[in-house]
Amino acid sequence: MNSVGDRQTGEVAQPAEEPAAGSVVRPGPGQLLLLAMWFGFFTGVGEALTMGAKRLLNTNPYMGFGPDVLWLSPLTETALFTGVGLLLAIMASRWPTLVTLKSALRVLGFLAFSSLFLLVLHRVNIYAKLVLAAGVASAGASMLAASPGILWGLIRVTMGWVVLPKTSRSGGVPGSRPRPSDSDPIDRRRFLLSQGVALTGLATAINGWDWLQERRTVAALPAVAGNPPNVILITLDTVRSMSLSLYGYERPTSPALERLAGMGVCFERAFATAPWTTPSHASMFTGRFPHELSIDWEAALDTQQPTLAEVLSEHGYVTAGFIANTERCSFESGLDRGFAHYEDYGVSAGQAIRTSPVRFVADRIREGRGDFEVPGRKSAARLNSDFLRWLTNRSENRPFFAFLNYYDAHDPYLPPEDFALRFAPAFHTVRYRDHGAFPDMPRGTVSLGDRYTPAQFRYLNDTYDGSIAYLDQQLGLLFSELEGRSVLENTVVIITSDHGEQFGEHGLPGHANSLYLQTLQVPLLILFPARVPRGQRIAHPVSLRDLANTVLDLAGIGGGPTFPGDSLARYMGTRSGDGSLDGPAPLAELQRGLRVPEWFPSAKGDMKALIAGNLHYILNGDGSEQLFDYVNDSLERNNLMETNAGVRDAARLRAAMKSLVAGLS
């Protein structure tokens, strides 16, 4: 009597016989390729699940990937393992006795376990991880090679579940479904289709869920009363005001911003609340100072304080964020709260590599070639394109709030070559085109704790200025497009930065390590034809903390939740010297850095700074104080604490700071 499974062929299906003890199994080239693809897919699945588990269990939210990792990681690993499989297949084809099932499993298993151990065992030496991976792979290979039927069966179950139409095989009965044989244990069509369906299904489910959530959020928005203006908030990550020709810098770094300043108000003394990205942005969104928020180096913005995007959504605004700084401004930071649409981690080759441990190897290769670019970093041109695409497709019957975060001026400073060379001396030109010509010059990147020479700082500053010039050009192109679309006629536009940068001032590089002027003073432009005068420059010291209430004021939104701080609109149209409008002195804060060099000011403990008139007061973590006349001493070389007048001023500002912080508690 025929079995049910082989009723059409008249044959009884026999289970694949296990090899005799001591025999060697040599898969064919096709089997090796499919075996490698299977290992790659499930290595990627394991990586995605591991990273997801780490996010759930780890108090540090900054893992460096978005939901797309659930399909990007399997896709990336499948591609990488397929390359290894091709090499094994070629070797098996040319030297049939060289590649056995056991040796192939050892190679593929070593790669798979190395990937997982690199993700999990952070405190273990990398060579110890590789040795452990080799041991586990060798043991597993011996077990599976001794029972290949179990391996083929596992592959058929996990990657052979797609149901195919009944087909005819040469020598078989027409209409029958082919059955894998001992020599060809995997149905290749079903395997490939199953893997394709799995990857496509994961990508579709994740992106489809985001799309559905956005549609639901927009559909649930309340009706809009009147004709409220749109709002565009632009942050130029790491751009300090003193490096802009808009503020008197000798290099023409910002002609587009100068033109925009003529269309609105330019604040000459605007100050961030923190010298690094996340708390500074959080202050803009909530009106709160950093010490009032949950954010620190390993904690995101919590839900205790309402955000600007949430309040605008409650008034019917469609909200969208476009993020280039995915390291500190992605959804992981909590800054996405209130946005219906939030584009941070993009789908690119660079991001695909970042989802895989292969990035460790890729990073070493890139650095060896002198390439320190951030894989997957979005350029200003890309951010413009993403925003304009969304703007074209948005609902026209609602006002919008768009947040654009540019990252081009953040290290590594790597603008397009024509901008990189714009402000560079001749030897820098050679350096840019031949990375080995001047090995003592950093390639646009700032390493934590490195002490740079004056020449190195000049080089970094040159490429930084070129990065700003490129960003400025792209802003000019964006606003030309917005003007052509008549978007600016009823739009509040705010252009600012989250913090500045240091190039040897006080011997320091980068940011997030001090509260000196270079890290805090940022550009601030506000444009709105209906209420903002054209071409005004305001010299009052102001805090970016006031931006949230400024938006509500200019948009005419009242009668609901408001934010701490005051609207900067109170300065517009006034005389520059009118001191009666001064609000609380701008406050800035910095928490002690994690694993920072002892010579960084932030290594002494939490820091605070206060700006009052032309004075900049800094209270260091060890209790020491500094006082500078930042208006007349922009490099802050002269500490006024060494004078009697400075000691008196510091006492007054110390009391003002204490009163301000106590009043906020």
- Which has more confidence, 504 or 441? 504
pLDDT score of 259 more than 70:
yes
pLDDT of the residue at 665: 58
Check residue 250 and report its DSSP letter. S
pLDDT score of 173 more than 70:
no
Window from 233-247, 321-335, 372-386, 431-445 with minimum mean pLDDT = 431-445
Q: How far is CA 625 from CA 526, 542, 589, 615, in A?
A: 34, 22, 14, 13
Helix ranges restricted to H, 275-354: 277-286, 308-314, 349-354
pLDDT score of 171 more than 50:
no
Window from 47-61, 257-271, 633-647 with minimum mean pLDDT = 47-61
pLDDT of the residue at 561: 60
pLDDT (mean) for 389-400: 90
pLDDT (mean) for 186-200: 89
pLDDT of the residue at 434: 45
Rounded distance between C-alpha atoms, residue 69 and residue 345, angstroms: 10
Rounded distance between C-alpha atoms, residue 387 and residue 226, angstroms: 25
pLDDT score of 9 more than 60:
no
pLDDT of the residue at 424: 76
Window from 447-456, 466-475, 487-496, 590-599 with minimum mean pLDDT = 447-456
Q: Tokens for 110? A: 């070593």
Burial of 242 (C-beta count, 10 Å sphere; 0-12/13-18/19+): middle
Rounded distance between C-alpha atoms, residue 273 and residue 560, angstroms: 25
Q: Tokens for 42? A: 């499930």
Rounded distance between C-alpha atoms, residue 458 and residue 443, angstroms: 12
Rounded distance between C-alpha atoms, residue 215 and residue 341, angstroms: 9
Contact in structure between 392 and 422 (CB atoms under 8 Å): no
- The residues with which 502 forms a beta bridge, in sequence order, are 510
pLDDT of the residue at 373: 74
Write 143-149 long-range contacts (CB < 8 A, 24+): 144/101, 144/105, 145/25, 145/100, 145/101, 145/102, 145/105, 146/18, 146/19, 147/18, 148/16, 148/18, 148/19, 148/25, 148/101, 148/185, 149/15, 149/16, 149/17, 149/18, 149/185
Of the pLDDT bands very low, low, confident and very high (cuts 50, 70, 90), residue 560 is low
- For the domain 232-584, what is the CATH code? 3.40.720.10
pLDDT (mean) for 293-312: 92
Q: What is the pTM of this model?
A: 0.87
pLDDT of the residue at 431: 46
The residue among 145, 162, 231 whose CA lies nearest residue 200 is: 162
The residue assigned the tokens 């080759």 is 349
- Which has more confidence, 121 or 332? 332
Other CB atoms within 10 Å distance of the CB of residue 577: 7
pLDDT (mean) for 327-332: 91
Helix ranges restricted to H, 220-333: 255-261, 277-286, 308-314
Every domain of the chain with CATH number 3.40.720.10 lies at 232-584
Handedness of CA 642, 660, 274, 635 (dihedral sign): negative
User: Could you tell me whether strands 587-590 and 607-612 are parallel, antiparallel, or unpaired per DSSP bridges?
Assistant: antiparallel
Q: Tokens for 109? A: 């298993």
pLDDT (mean) for 366-395: 84
pLDDT of the residue at 32: 93
SS (H, E, C) 122-160: CCCCHHHHHHHHHHHHHHHHHHHHHCHHHHHHHHHHHHC
pLDDT score of 429 more than 80:
no
pLDDT score of 483 more than 70:
yes
Mean pLDDT of the chain, nearest integer = 86
Rounded distance between C-alpha atoms, residue 7 and residue 309, angstroms: 65
Contact in structure between 41 and 198 (CB atoms under 8 Å): yes
pLDDT score of 2 more than 50:
no
pLDDT of the residue at 317: 96
Q: Express each pLDDT in 21-70 by its tens digit.
A: 456 778 889 999 999 999 999 999 988 888 888 777 776 677 777 888 88
